[in-house]
């Protein structure tokens, strides 16, 4: 029997699911090996249980946590799909302010009575999926890489651990013989960011912002030294460190408490 797979979205742009919907000719091969039983972006079907659930988006409100926990109960394997699910996404930056401040900023004209005691506006605070339920595997990236999605899917079907690299983006960048951005006056997070994207941003001249998170043992101090040597201020370095990876900063703050 083909494994049943399902996709679910939480706070996100749904771009990662779009990557899957846009698999083009591979879609037919994917359909040969799995049954897609739930995928709101492309179909209306619902299912009672799944073999693999792919979760996109950060987990924001109590109702989201409740929904996610229900999915976890119905699936054998749970995969966090993309940066929002993996780390909390760019929206996690809003955790720097209180829920009240954020609501006021986003909905300045909203009436208190509409927001108060409304579960859709209850305590918005962004979490990664693994901060709410057990995550078996992660497909990192903003957005995810289609080839990597297929690699992970195939690995799961064959009972293998998904091949997500634990070496830095520099490795893939060097193998592609790109001109290192640091040598032309730019700076990137490649030395400590997790590879697997094929160094797509540096390959097109854009700086890596670590959307896939860091490798498991990054030498962060050395990375900060390098950015300082490039003339970046402490604020600018913090900006580099927080774009997609505010989760690590929050964790640091918590640990230093």
Contact residues: another protein, CB under 8 A: 26, 29-30, 32-33, 150-151, 153-155, 158-161, 163, 166-168, 170-171, 174-180, 182-184, 190-192, 215-217, 219, 221-223, 225-226, 229
Beta bridge partners of 6: 38, 53
Q: How far is the CB of 23 from another protein (least distance, A)?
A: 10
Q: How far is the CB of 241 from another protein (least distance, A)?
A: 15
Q: Angle at the Cα of 12 (from 181 to 187), degrees rounded to 5?
A: 10
Of the two residues 76 and 104, which places its CB atom closer to another protein in the complex?
76
Of the two residues 116 and 216, which places its CB atom closer to another protein in the complex?
216
Q: Can you tell me the distance from the alpha carbon of 162 to that of 48, in angstroms, rounded to the nearest whole number?
A: 25
Of the two residues 71 and 215, which places its CB atom closer to another protein in the complex?
215
Question: 3-state DSSP helix/strand/coil percent for the chain, to nearest 5?
Answer: 45, 15, 40
SS3 21: helix
Of the two residues 25 and 109, which places its CB atom closer to another protein in the complex?
25
Q: How far is the CB of 233 from another protein (least distance, A)?
A: 19
Verify cis geometry, omega within 30 degrees of 0, for the bond prior to 143. Answer: yes
Of the two residues 6 and 170, which places its CB atom closer to another protein in the complex?
170
What lies within 8 Å, CB to CB, of 134 at 6+ separation is: 72, 78
Q: How far is the CB of 122 from another protein (least distance, A)?
A: 41
Q: How far is the CB of 146 from another protein (least distance, A)?
A: 12
Q: Can you tell me the distance from the alpha carbon of 22 to that of 20, in angstroms, rounded to the nearest whole number?
A: 5
């Amino acid at each position: 029997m083909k494994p049943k797979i399902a996709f679910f979205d939480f706070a996100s742009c749904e771009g990662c699911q779009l990557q899957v919907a846009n698999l083009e000719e591979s879609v037919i091969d994917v359909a040969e090996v799995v049954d897609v039983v739930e995928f709101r972006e492309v179909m209306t079907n619902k299912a009672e249980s799944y073999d693999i659930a792919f979760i996109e988006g950060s987990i924001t409100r109590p109702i989201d946590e409740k929904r996610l926990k229900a999915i976890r109960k119905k699936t054998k394997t749970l995969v966090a799909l993309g940066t929002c699910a993996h780390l909390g996404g760019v929206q996690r930056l809003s955790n720097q302010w209180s829920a009240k401040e954020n609501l006021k900023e986003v909905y300045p004209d909203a009436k208190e009575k509409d927001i108060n005691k409304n579960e859709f506006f209850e305590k918005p605070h962004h979490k990664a999926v693994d901060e709410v339920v057990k995550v078996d595997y992660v497909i990192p990236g903003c957005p995810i890489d289609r080839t990597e999605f297929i690699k992970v899917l195939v690995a799961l079907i064959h009972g293998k651990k998904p091949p997500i690299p634990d070496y830095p983006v520099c490795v893939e960048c060097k193998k592609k013989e790109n001109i290192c951005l640091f040598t032309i006056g730019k700076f990137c997070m490649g030395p400590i960011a997790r590879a697997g994207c094929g160094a797509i941003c540096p390959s097109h001249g854009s700086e890596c912002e670590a959307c896939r998170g860091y490798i498991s043992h990054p030498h962060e101090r050395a990375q900060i030294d390098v950015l300082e040597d490039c003339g970046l201020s402490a604020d600018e370095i913090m900006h580099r460190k927080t774009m997609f990876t505010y989760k690590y900063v929050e964790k640091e703050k918590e640990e230093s408490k």
